[in-house]
Amino acid sequence: MPPAALRYVVPLIALLPCSVLALPASAPKPGHTRVAIETSLGTIIVATDDRRAPITSANFLTYVDDGRFDGVTFYRAARRKSDPKLGLIQGGIDTDARRSLPPIRHEPTTRTGIRHLDATLSMARPDRANSAMGNFFITIGPTPNMDARGDYIGYAAFGHVVAGMDVVKRILAVPTCCGSGPMRGQMIVKPVRIIRAKRLDGKPHPTRGVKPWLLGLKRKI
């Protein structure tokens, strides 16, 4: 189960790294926005489902457009005991409150119709509704226990991987240890760095104002 805390127009081709350009990402589908997540192990391209999960997608894209995911990590790899090649990887701002935006309203799978299948992009959240912020996970293999049912609100799936599942699987396989509760033994020993995340479709809409995590990084002498 995902964590219970904060831990939790045309693309500008000339600005994209070669690793992104080399990936066979298909053209965007109407109502979807692709994002390239460049990591230290390779690039993953995801597509948010802006029509069916507008709140969750907009939140994720704001983190992307602000650069809030640049320099964070994939810090969790949860492998199934029955088949270690299946499970999920989780990344985002972790517990860095400097990068966080206000929590968003929960969009359950019963409302969106987006199920937790293989290569699904979904939001991590604390153990309560309307609490997701800047942590997300990607499934490897169907994970129906994440879908809402009855009184269980589940998790907010809002997109899918369109290229780079080999990178996702590589991250799932890295050594893990530590953690507590449902994350016991699932924390990545050497977290996989997210170098940057960049939208490939549409116009960025960054927030205005001070970005606390950047303060002091570019001081002039």
Nearest to 88 by CA among 42, 145, 32, 5: 145
Return the residue matching tokens 């359950």. 108
Could you tell me if 130 and 105 are in contact, meaning their C-beta atoms sit under 8 angstroms apart? yes
Nearest to 100 by CA among 76, 78, 126: 126
* pLDDT by residue, tens only, the chain of 221 residues: 454 444 443 333 233 444 444 444 566 788 999 999 999 999 999 999 999 999 999 999 999 999 999 999 999 999 999 999 999 999 999 999 999 999 999 999 999 999 999 999 999 998 889 999 999 999 999 999 999 999 999 999 999 999 999 999 999 999 999 988 888 889 999 999 999 999 999 999 999 988 999 986 654 43
Tokens read off for 64: 């992307």
Distance, C-alpha 160 to centroid of its chain? 10
For 10, list phi and psi in degrees, rounded to 5: -135, 135
**Residue 166 burial (C-beta neighbours within 10 Å; 0-12, 13-18, 19+):** exposed
DSSP states of 162-176: EE-HHHHHHHHTS-E
CATH class of 32-203: mainly beta
Return the residue matching tokens 């170098």. 195
DSSP states of 99-154: G----B----HHHH-----TTEEEE---SSSS-B-SEEEEEES--GGGS-BTTB--
The pLDDT of residue 29 is 80
Where exactly are the structural domains of the chain?
A: 32-203
| DSSP 8-state class, residue 39 | E
CA distance 30 to 49: 9
Question: Could you tell me which residues are beta bridge partners of residue 20?
Answer: none
The pLDDT of residue 110 is 97
Q: Please give the span between the terminal C-alpha atoms of the chain, in angstroms, as a whole number.
A: 47
The pLDDT of residue 127 is 85
